[in-house]
Amino acid sequence: MPNAEDERLSHAVHLMDSEVTLSQAAAVCMVSERALRTRWNKRQADRRAYEAGLLRNEWDSLLSAVRGRLLMIATDEGLRAGAMLAHRAATVDHRGRQVGQ
């Protein structure tokens, strides 16, 4: 059994991928259900974004709240377009210039 909480959470997520319930995985790996639910939800969100064709660096660069709102978009095309716009908006300053220039 992994010792660090992060490793135990990763192991619990792996168990959930193998059809183990959240409660069972949390108990086996000795992690809180709340922490595991948070990790699982992030994993599912990341999976949807990548399956929709989003680049990992663009998706990861968005704030958590922005990713959450984007995930409410029903279609993959809408999710992809919204994420691309949000990423571009995050890289432009108030004068319309690329950040870092």
> Across the chain, what does the average pLDDT equal?
89
pTM comes to: 0.74
Produce one character per residue of 26-41: b if its CB has 16 or more CB atoms within 10 Å, e if not.
beebebeeeebeebbe
pLDDT-derived band at 101, boundaries 50, 70, 90? very low
The rounded distance, in Å, linking the Cα atoms of 29 and 40 is: 14
User: Which tokens is 99 given?
Assistant: 């950040």
Same domain, 47 and 68: no
Residue pair 73/86 in contact by the 8 Å Cβ criterion:
no
Same domain, 2 and 43: yes
Domain that holds residue 30: 1-51
For the chain, the domain total comes to 2
Same domain, 67 and 27: no
Same domain, 97 and 58: yes
Same domain, 8 and 39: yes
* Percent share of the chain, pLDDT over 90: 73
pLDDT digits (tens, 9 = 90+) for 52-86: 999 898 899 899 899 999 999 999 999 999 999 99
